[in-house]
Structure formats: structure tokens, C-alpha cells
């Protein structure tokens, strides 16, 4: 199969209600996601990201256009197990324990009890929820909710993952674990479409991005193509102030511009990653 998700001229308009005018949530949108690719959907609030995911999950009927997921109508019952959708917002049945919740998801997806149990334990473990497995979901923090929702989405090893803000509210370790899992799923052939406001994470994990604004696609493509420019930059390390001055003068003499000179530093994410790799007592 060439594409996992195929969207042609998709439009969604919420009809007028009373004094409220009709809202065009998605203007004609085209999109294709191949198996094994991670595509980020970016855009401000109200841009149509969640609506796009709802359509692909079969929970929103398009006003116009053609949508296929794994070659089928998104609402096809056969896709319930093959396509996982993690909507934004709270989980249902929050008086269940995390383990019971995953068992319920497994039952709804038609997994055998033993199989569902094994998968639930695996994902609870992987997403650092094993110790909270017997706790009521309503006692969970936002990040734990998110991790459990992702565990539920991953339970049946779906071929397509539709994730709405999968890392919102997660701590850096949780975010990194989620990104690692998504990379693995993509490597295993799953197509991942994730809406997110976390630009750094999208940059780090996504092969392509789609930028939505007012329901229309403003930009799309591979990150290298979107973010790269014509000019080149030189990054040096190990020179003292004198050496840097000389290099800057040389650059100017050659017609270049020296924009700024700064001390190199890592971003916070790398710091957290380093801290996590240390043994606990030395943290």
C-alpha cells in the first residue's frame, strides 16, 4: 500500500446554529501520509488540527472531499483496531484503575483477555505507569492521563496512529519516552499523524509537517526543505576571543556577515536527558 492516509479536497463546515454562523473548520485540504512516516500537524488554536484527526478517526463526517485510511472509509468497523485515535481531553471511565481501563480497551478491540493483559502490562511498564496501574484514573496527573491514553492507543499495535497533543502536559522524560515509542512504531511501519504545539518535539521527531491556519494548509513538506535556507553557517568551537575576532574579520573580508558570537550551550531537553542517564544518587 502506497499511502496509509489519503485526503483529497477535504472540507468540513459546521452548520449555522441559531445566531451562530456556519464555521469552516477545514477548507479543501489535501494530505497523504505513507506508512512508516511521522507527520506533524501544526497551527494555532482553532486551525482545524483536531477536526482533521476526527475526520480521519471516523468521528466527523466531511462536508466535501474524499478520505481514505488504509484504503477504507475512516468509519469502517474494520479500522477500529488498525487505527488508533488519541483524542484530546480526559479519559472516560475515570473510576477504573489504569489496568482495568486498558483491559476494557482490549476487550472493545477484540483482544483475548490474556493477550490484552500482557499488552497492558507491557505498555504500563514502557510508559512508567506500572506502579500506578491499580490507581483510579481520576487520581492521575495530566501527564499520567496522557501516558495512559497513549498506552490505550498503542494497545493493539495499530497501523495508523492519530494523536492529538500526545506530549501535552508530559514531563521531559515522559515526552522523550513518547517520542521514542513513536519512532519505534514508525520504524515498524505505522503511519503517525500528530497534532502538536510543541515545535521542538515536532522538529525532533517528525519527517514532515503540515501547517494549518484557519482550516487551510499554509505550508507543508519535509522539515529540511521548510527550514533550510540558501546561506550557510559556520559553527566553531575551541577558539578564544582573539581567535574569534580574527575569524570574524576574515569573514567580513570575504563579504560575509557576523550576526552574533555566543557561548555554545545545549537546550534544556539535552540537560534532562543527561540527568536521566546518571545514576539516581548522583542526580
Partner 1 sequence: MSAFGGRGPFGLTLRRCLALAAPATALGVAAALLLHARWRDEAAVEAAPGAASPWLALPLCAAAFAVVVTTMRFWPAFGRGRAGRDWIDRLQRGRLGGCGCALAGALVAYALLALPVLLALPPGLGAPAEAFAAHALQPQGGGLLAAAAPRLELRCPSGEPVRELRLRPLVGLPTGAWQGAVVRAYADGEALPPLPAAFGDNRQPVRLAFPPRPVRAFTLVYESGAVPLGFDASAAEAIGSAPRPRWGNALAALLLTAVPAFVALALGALVGQVSRPATALATAAAALFLGAIGGQGPFLPAVLGVLRGEWLATTALFRAGAPSLTLGAAAMIVAMFVRAKVQR
Report in angstroms how near the CB of residue 57 gets to partner 1 at its nearest: 6
Report in angstroms how near the CB of residue 103 gets to partner 1 at its nearest: 5
Cα–Cα dist 126/234, whole Å: 40
The residue among 124 and 152 lying less far from partner 1, judged by its C-beta, is 152
Cα–Cα dist 153/155, whole Å: 6
Q: What is the largest CA-CA distance in the chain?
A: 72
The residue among 85 and 123 lying less far from partner 1, judged by its C-beta, is 85
The residue among 90 and 243 lying less far from partner 1, judged by its C-beta, is 90
Report in angstroms how near the CB of residue 93 gets to partner 1 at its nearest: 7
Three cell numbers, residue 62: 466531511
Measured distance between the N- and C-terminal CA atoms of the chain, rounded to whole angstroms: 48
Report in angstroms how near the CB of residue 138 gets to partner 1 at its nearest: 10
The residue among 152 and 194 lying less far from partner 1, judged by its C-beta, is 152
Q: Which spans of this chain sit near partner 1 (rule: CB under 8 A)?
A: 57-61, 75, 77, 80, 85, 87, 89-96, 100, 103-109, 113, 116, 152
Report in angstroms how near the CB of residue 268 gets to partner 1 at its nearest: 32
DSSP string, 112-165: -HHHHHHHHHHHHHHTT-GGGTTSBGGG--HHHHHHHHHHHHHTT--SEEEEES
DSSP string, 18-44: TTBPPEEEEEEEEEEE-TT-EEEEE-S
The residue among 37 and 99 lying less far from partner 1, judged by its C-beta, is 99
The residue among 82 and 220 lying less far from partner 1, judged by its C-beta, is 82
Give Cα separations from 26 to 48, 62, 73, 88, 215 (angstroms). Answer: 6, 9, 18, 18, 4
Q: Nearest 5°: phi and psi at 23?
A: -120, 125
CB 213 within 8 A of CB 49: no
Report in angstroms how near the CB of residue 250 gets to partner 1 at its nearest: 60
Report in angstroms how near the CB of residue 85 gets to partner 1 at its nearest: 6
Torsion sign over Cα 121, 123, 125, 130: negative
8-state DSSP, 15: P
The three-state secondary structure class of 194 is strand
Report in angstroms how near the CB of residue 177 gets to partner 1 at its nearest: 22
Amino acid at each position: 500500500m502506497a499511502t496509509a492516509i489519503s485526503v483529497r479536497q477535504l472540507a468540513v463546515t459546521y452548520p449555522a446554529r441559531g445566531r451562530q454562523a456556519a464555521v469552516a473548520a477545514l477548507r479543501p485540504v489535501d494530505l497523504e501520509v505513507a506508512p512508516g512516516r511521522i507527520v506533524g500537524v501544526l497551527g494555532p488554536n482553532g486551525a482545524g488540527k483536531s477536526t482533521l484527526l476526527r475526520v480521519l478517526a471516523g468521528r466527523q463526517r466531511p462536508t466535501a472531499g474524499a478520505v481514505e485510511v488504509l484504503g477504507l472509509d475512516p468509519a469502517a468497523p474494520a479500522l477500529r483496531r488498525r487505527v488508533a485515535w488519541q483524542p484530546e481531553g480526559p479519559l472516560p471511565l475515570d473510576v477504573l484503575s489504569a489496568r482495568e481501563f486498558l483491559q476494557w480497551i482490549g476487550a472493545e478491540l477484540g483482544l483475548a483477555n490474556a493477550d490484552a493483559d500482557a499488552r497492558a502490562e507491557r505498555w504500563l511498564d514502557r510508559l512508567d505507569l506500572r506502579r500506578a496501574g491499580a490507581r483510579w484514573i481520576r487520581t492521575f496527573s495530566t501527564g499520567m492521563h496522557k501516558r495512559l491514553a497513549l498506552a490505550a492507543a498503542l494497545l493493539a499495535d495499530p497501523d495508523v496512529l492519530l494523536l492529538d497533543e500526545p506530549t501535552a502536559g508530559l514531563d521531559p522524560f515522559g515526552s522523550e519516552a513518547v517520542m521514542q515509542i513513536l519512532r519505534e512504531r514508525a520504524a515498524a511501519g505505522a503511519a503517525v499523524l500528530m497534532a502538536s504545539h510543541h515545535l521542538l518535539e515536532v522538529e525532533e521527531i517528525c519527517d514532515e509537517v503540515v501547517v494549518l491556519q484557519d482550516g487551510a494548509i499554509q505550508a507543508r513538506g519535509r522539515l529540511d526543505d521548510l527550514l533550510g535556507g540558501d546561506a550557510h553557517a559556520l559553527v566553531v568551537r575551541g577558539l578564544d576571543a582573539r581567535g574569534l575576532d580574527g575569524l570574524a574579520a576574515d569573514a567580513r573580508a570575504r563579504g560575509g556577515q557576523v550576526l552574533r558570537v555566543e557561548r555554545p550551550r545545549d537546550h534544556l531537553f539535552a540537560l534532562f536527558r543527561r540527568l536521566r542517564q546518571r545514576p539516581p544518587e548522583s542526580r
